[in-house]
Structure 1
Amino acid sequence: MNFELISTDSASSARAGVLTTDHGVINTPIFMPVGTVGSVKAVTQEQLRQDVKAQIILGNTYHLYLRPGLEVLSAAGGLHKFNGWEKPILTDSGGYQVFSLAANRKIKEEGVVFQSHIDGSRHLFTPENVMDIQRTIGADIIMAFDECPPYPSEYRYAKKSMELTHRWLDRCIKRLGETTPRYGHEQTLFPIVQGSTFKDLRTISATEIAARGCAGNAIGGLSVGEPEQDMYEMCALVCNILPADKPRYLMGVGTPWNILENIALGVDMFDCVMPTRNGRNGMLFTWNGVINIKNKKWATDFTPVDEHSPCFASRDYSKAYLRHLFAAGEYLGLTLASIHNLAFYLELITEARAQILAGTYTAWKNKMIPVLKTRL
Structure 2
Amino acid sequence: MTAASYFHLQGRDGEARTGALTTPHGVVRTPAFMPVGTAGAMKGLHWREVRDAGADIVLGNTYHLMLRPGAERIAALGGLQTFTGWNGPMLTDSGGFQVMSLAQLRKLSEHAVTFRSHIDGAKVELTPERSIEVQRLLGSDIAMQLDECVRLPAGRGDIERAMQLSLRWGERSKRAFESALPGYLLFGIAQGGDVAELRQASARGLVDTGFHGYAIGGLAVGEPQAVMLAMIEEVAPILPTDRPRYLMGVGTPEDILEAVARGIDMFDCVLPTRNGRHGMAFTRFGAVNLQNARHADDPRPLDEESAWPSTRSYARAYLHHLVKAGETLGAMLLSEINIAYYQTLMQDIREAIAQGTFQQFRQQTRANWARGDLPPR
Q: Structure 1 length as normaliser, TM-score?
A: 0.96
Partners of 2:231 and 2:221 in 1: how far apart?
A: 13
Give the root-mean-square deviation of aligned CA atoms.
1.2
1:273-327 residue CA offsets vs partner (Å, 9 max, x unmatched): 0111011101111011210001110011111122232112212211111111111
List aligned pairs for 1:184-203, cutoff 5 A: 186-203=183-200
Match for residue 366 of structure 2 among 346, 349, 369: 369
Provide the rounded CA distance (Å) in 1 between the counterparts of 2:198 and 2:76.
Answer: 43
The structural deviation recorded for 1:373 is 4.9
Find 2:331's aligned residue among 313, 321, 334: 334
Instruction: Give distance in 1, aligned partners of 2:42 and 2:306.
Output: 21
Q: Could you tell me whether the CA contact under 8 Å between 1:95 and 1:147 is conserved in 2?
A: yes
Q: How does 1:264-279 map to 2 (within 5 A)?
A: 264-279=261-276
Aligned residue in 2 for 1:209: 206
Residue of structure 2 equivalent to 1:345: 342
Contact 2:47/2:86 (8 A) holds in 1: yes
- Contact kept, 8 Å, 1:304 with 1:319, in 2: the verdict is yes
Q: Which runs of 5+ in 2 are unaligned?
A: none
Matched to 1:73, the amino acid is I
Give the SS at the match of 2:33.
strand
Q: Which amino acid aligns with 2:9?
A: L
Alignment of 1:184-333 (within 5 A): 186-333=183-330
Partner of 1:23: 25
Identity of aligned residues (%): 47
Change (3 A) 1:77 1:373: farther
In the alignment, the residues of structure 2 paired with residue 39 and residue 13 of structure 1 have an alpha-carbon distance, to the nearest angstrom, of 34
CA distance in 2 between counterparts of 1:207 and 1:201 reads 10
Amino acid at match of 2:294: K
111-120 vs 85-94, which moves further = 111-120
What is the Cα deviation at residue 370 of structure 1? 3.8
Q: CA deviation at 1:156?
A: 0.8
One-letter amino acid matched to 1:323: H
- State the partner residue of 1:42: 44
**1:106–1:113 CA contact under 8 A, matched in 2:** yes
Q: 1:62: Cα distance to partner?
A: 0.2
SS in 2 for 1:309: coil
8 A Cα contact 1:301 1:320, kept in partner: yes
1:155 aligns with 2:130: no
Q: Distance in 1 between matches of 2:372 and 2:22?
A: 38
Give the Cα–Cα distance (whole angstroms) in 2 for the partners of residues 54 and 113 of structure 1: 35
Runs of 4+ in 1 over 4 A off after TM superposition: none
Match of 1:119, SS state, is coil
**Counterpart for residue 180 of structure 2:** 180
1:8 is aligned, of 4, 12, 16, to 12
Secondary structure at the counterpart of residue 294 of structure 1 = coil
8 Å CA contact 1:62–1:93 kept in 2: the answer is: yes
Contact 2:75 2:139 in 1 (8 A): no
SS at match of 1:290: strand
CA–CA separation in structure 1 for the residues paired with 2:348 and 2:19: 14
CA distance in 2, matches of 1:246, 1:162: 21
- How many pairs were matched up? 369
AA at the equivalent of 1:37: A
Cα distance change, pair 221–373 in 1 and its aligned pair in 2 (3 A): farther
Tell me if the contact between 2:114 and 2:126 (Cα under 8 Å) persists in the aligned partners: yes
